[in-house]
Amino acid sequence: MIFRKSEPPPSPEPEPQSARPGSKGRPTRTRKEAEAARRRPLVVDDRKEARRRDRERASRERQESQQALMSGDEKKMPPQHRGPERSYVRDLVDSRWNIAELFFPVALVFMVISLVLPLIRPELTTTLSTGMIIVLWGGIAVCVVDSLFLRKRIRHLVTERFGTVQRGLVGYGIMRAIQIRRFRLPRAQIKHGQAPR
């Protein structure tokens, strides 16, 4: 009893702290635990199935955007066709008669004739080749002049309506004007001569 150490009095157990309002009620995970929870295998077990799902999803998205280009639904269109400025430029181009859209079908017909006719009448070869050069280069020159007028008109009307001209907007309009109206995407929403929306 003499050599026995006296035992310290038992310390009172801490009372469980009540969780603060808004707290998780558990300790925060360590970085190692968080990374382990996020870690997934790089290679999917069923690669064929994953590829098939990806192809189906991509095909569905392409189909939706194609339908949007046909119907004019801007929400599902590809990003390069969205926005009020681009819609307005499309309407500006579609409302006027563009020389380029008329010239390219005429030039194509003329080229076919100039290839076929010399087989029938060989003596007309030089005359046809000269005529084709004149028509093609003359048509291209007229298309360039028309594009310059269209460029000026787009810049003026877009600045008047939106205050500024986005980069690439004028080129977007000119490229649309060169295309044959029937094959333009997004499809024309107004007729020739109608005011842009």
| Digit-coded pLDDT (tens) for 98-145 | 998 889 888 888 888 888 887 888 887 788 788 888 888 999 999 999
What are the domain boundaries of the chain? 53-82, 83-183
Q: Answer with the residue of higher pLDDT: 119 or 165.
A: 165
Q: Give the per-residue pLDDT at 172.
A: 95
| Digit-coded pLDDT (tens) for 49-65 | 888 888 999 999 888 88
Q: What percent of the chain lies above the pLDDT cut of 70? A: 85
Q: What gap in Å lies between CA 191 and CA 197, rounded to an integer?
A: 11
Predicted model pTM: 0.66
Q: What gap in Å lies between CA 195 and CA 96, rounded to an integer?
A: 9
Give the number of residues written for the chain.
197
Exposed / middle / buried, residue 59 (Cβ in 10 Å: 0-12, 13-18, 19+) = exposed
Does the bond joining 196 to the residue before it have cis omega, within 30 degrees of 0?
no
156 pLDDT band, cuts 50/70/90, is: very high
Q: Answer with the residue of higher pLDDT: 86 or 112.
A: 86
